[in-house]
Amino acid sequence: MVYQSATPESFLDDFRTQMKTKLVKEMVGKKLDQLRTPSLVINRSILQRNCTALGKITTGLKNTRIRVHVKTHKSVEGARIQLENAQTDAIVVSTLPEAYAMINSDLTSSGLLKQASIFYKFDDIFDLSSKVDVFQIFIDNLATLEALEEYCKSTGSQKKLNVFLKVDCGYGRAGVPINDEKTLALAKRLSDSPHVVFTGIYTHAGHSYSSQSSDEALEYLKTECDVARQFRDYFVSNGVPINYVSIGATPTVKAITAFMDHLDMDYILRDIDEVHAGAFAFLDRQQVATGLGTYHDVAISVACRIASVYEDRKSVLIDGGALAFSKDTAPQGGFGYVIDPAVKDDVEILASVTKVSQEHGILQHLDETTLSRPELRIGELVRVVPNHCCLAAACHLYYLVVENDSDVVVDVWVPVRGW
């Protein structure tokens, strides 16, 4: 067994607290155009609205609950909004620093957070599991279970860890395949192991991100549910009880909220105990391409300044590039849309970020009317909707929080960093 160093959670907590205090003092009450760019901007009002929409699954369906993913924002403030408005007490985290930040915060002491799930390292997960009501890890390989059992034996630990078996519903990134002897053997070992509590199965339909209509996303949802039920039936028929089934990805969960008033969603989700989603709360350009939302629903943008204008080649340079947006793609092409600031009652696209280098982006193929717009003069601030909210957020050291249509900063969030 290979041992890894522990996560320095107390140092990271102190750093974020001190940084937030200084940033709030310096930035709250100022307008976005008074602050450095590029900066990530979160519209708290839209975020709350999206999470409230997610909560309709809990209140509107009979037997399905919600688990929210915090990897997009990696902040206690964002998690609080998700938990309160989506009416759940369960999260998924991607990294140990995320887990420590959430579990060591007042989210747990207040009773708002009771369940947390993660892949990862044994010293840390045993520590974390003692601080929250239910702490689950994912296993999709026998070697991982064997290492966990060896750890328990070597340390004398009598504590049992809650474990999800991650299954592959077609995405191909992680998870075990169906109708496979090794899969069945792992499920039986999990069920019989004296060191774990076998929670159930967990799927993630990440391939649903390719949806380009609400109907396509709905079909991905139906398929994910069908595959999850097939896994359950396969295990049960071979003597392995499955008591809990969790499915989800933002497009498939968006399909639930989009169609639940028109279709028998309880039937579609029969035997599905939980759905989980991450980008749902913030959304982005890629999610708008699925047809399950509009730019009115996107809570995240990147504030940039016009660095230069080139009328002869019909382009504009902005001070945000790959390190502000990431290089994730979207069906619309390019790396982001510049929102027209002159339109107040709707959302219209002023230009597209067609190329990026490390620190700069280029708006190309602009006509004379667009080039002459006062919003595109050197030094002016523009807001760009990024392709992928999760990776764009990961590019920034802190987030500027605004509300409704205002450009005045009301809070600053400092996200968790590291692994």
Q: CA neighbours within 13 Å on the CB side: how many for 180?
A: 12
Expressed in angstroms, the distance from the first to the final Cα of the chain is 20
Q: What secondary structure, in 3-state letters, does 314-333 show?
A: CEEEECCCHHHHCCCCCCCC
| Block residue for tokens 């019909």 | 314
CA R_g for the chain: 23
* Predicted pLDDT of residue 120: 67
Q: Which parts of the chain register pLDDT below 50?
A: 1
* Predicted pLDDT of residue 197: 95
Residue 167 DSSP code: B
Return the beta strands (E) in 249-359 as ranges: 274-277, 300-310, 315-318, 336-339, 349-356
Residue 342 DSSP code: T
Q: For residues 217 and 190, what is the distance between their CA atoms, to the nearest angstrom? A: 32
Residue 399 DSSP code: E
Write down all domains in the chain, each with its CATH number in brackets.
27-42+292-413 (2.40.37.20), 61-283 (3.20.20.10)
Residue 365 in tokens: 């193929």
Whether the CB-CB separation of 259 and 265 falls below 8 Å is answered with yes
Q: For residues 275 and 290, what is the distance between their CA atoms, to the nearest angstrom? A: 19
Amino acid identity of 143? A
Whether the CB-CB separation of 127 and 161 falls below 8 Å is answered with no
Whether the CB-CB separation of 127 and 95 falls below 8 Å is answered with no
Residue 367 in tokens: 């006509």
Per cent of the chain over pLDDT 90 is 83
pTM: 0.92
Q: For residues 89 and 55, what is the distance between their CA atoms, to the nearest angstrom? A: 12
| Nearest residue to 67 (alpha-carbon basis) of 24, 101, 118 | 118
Whether the CB-CB separation of 81 and 64 falls below 8 Å is answered with no
Q: What is the dihedral of CA 274, 142, 94, 1, to 10 degrees?
A: 150
Q: For residues 159 and 392, what is the distance between their CA atoms, to the nearest angstrom? A: 38
* Predicted pLDDT of residue 9: 64
* Predicted pLDDT of residue 5: 61
Q: Name the average pLDDT for the chain.
A: 93
* Predicted pLDDT of residue 7: 63
Could you give the angle at the alpha carbon of 141 between the alpha carbons of 66 and 102, nearest 5°?
40
Residue 201 in tokens: 């199965």
Whether the CB-CB separation of 228 and 170 falls below 8 Å is answered with no
